[in-house]
Amino acid sequence: MKPKPWKTLSSKPIYENPWMRLREDLAEMPDGRTTIYGVVTFGDCVGVVPFVDKDQVLLVCQYRYVQGENHRWEIPTGGVHPGETLEQAAQRELAEEAGYHAGRLTHISSYYTSKCICDETAHLYIGQDLTPARVPPDDTEFLEQRVFPFDEALRMTLDGEIMDSMSVIALLLAARQRAQR
């Protein structure tokens, strides 16, 4: 038997900025007891593994404030803007962060980045048949770009050098897809 859903009794906004919202809900559990539940809403985000040719991918590096790191490589990622399709957002992020447009964009996965307190769904793509598309990055992005052999990007993922979930999942799924060919 499936678990019974919880019922939201009230919801109170706590904080909001252009990238996220935080609210506090009072929820009734299936047994009638109530609990406070914090929810952070980010919305949809996208990530692209850009293959510059059949064996090389372009990764980006930027300072990540929360982790205080500036040395980890990742795939181009970002949020979906209002009115954009997922594919449009993926192409925009690819152009902003990597400087390319994908002639072929293949969806490989969608997943919840955190199933407990975050409302955010990531949508991952493989980008191929790249052509230059210079678009200025967001005003908070200061990026380094580098082309890596795909096997090295996969090794970096397996060795824990690449740690963000979007990059890890996308690179592992890209490896799986390549192995199935």
Is 128 part of any domain? yes
> What is the Cα 44 distance to its own chain's centre?
8
Quick one: tokens of 112? Answer: 């919840």
Fill in the amino acid letter for 91. Answer: Q
Is 2 part of any domain? no
Q: What is the pLDDT of residues 83-103, one digit of tens each?
A: 999 999 999 999 999 999 999
Is 27 part of any domain? no
Half-sphere exposure in the Cβ direction for 61 (13 Å, CA): 14
Output the domain CATH number for residue 158: 3.90.79.10
What distance in Å separates the CA atoms of residue 167 and residue 175, rounded to the nearest whole number? 12
- pTM comes to 0.92
Evaluate whether 108 touches 86 at the Cβ level (below 8 Å): no
Is 156 part of any domain? yes
Fill in the amino acid letter for 51. Answer: F
Residues facing 120 on adjacent strands: 43
Per-residue pLDDT of the chain (181 residues; tens, 9 = 90+): 899 999 999 999 999 998 899 999 999 999 999 999 999 999 899 999 999 999 999 999 988 877 887 888 999 999 999 999 999 999 999 999 999 999 999 999 999 999 888 999 999 999 999 999 978 777 777 788 999 999 999 999 999 999 999 999 999 999 999 998 7
Q: Quick one: pLDDT at residue 86?
A: 98
Task: Print the domain residue range for 168.
Answer: 43-112+121-179
Q: What's the total number of domains in the chain?
A: 1
Q: State the angle between helix axes of 165-179 and 150-158 in degrees (0 to 180), rounded to the nearest 10.
A: 130
Q: Quick one: pLDDT at residue 66?
A: 79
Is 62 part of any domain? yes
Q: Quick one: pLDDT at residue 140?
A: 73
For residue 172, give the H/E element and its range: helix 165-179
Q: What is the pLDDT of residues 104-115, one digit of tens each?
A: 999 999 999 998
Quick one: tokens of 130? Answer: 């790249």
Is 97 part of any domain? yes
Q: Quick one: pLDDT at residue 144?
A: 87
Quick one: tokens of 38? Answer: 């914090």
Q: Give the C-alpha distances (Å, rounded to integers) separating 60 from 48, 83, 147.
A: 11, 26, 9
Is 81 part of any domain? yes
Is 23 part of any domain? no
What distance in Å separates the CA atoms of residue 104 and residue 129, rounded to the nearest whole number? 6
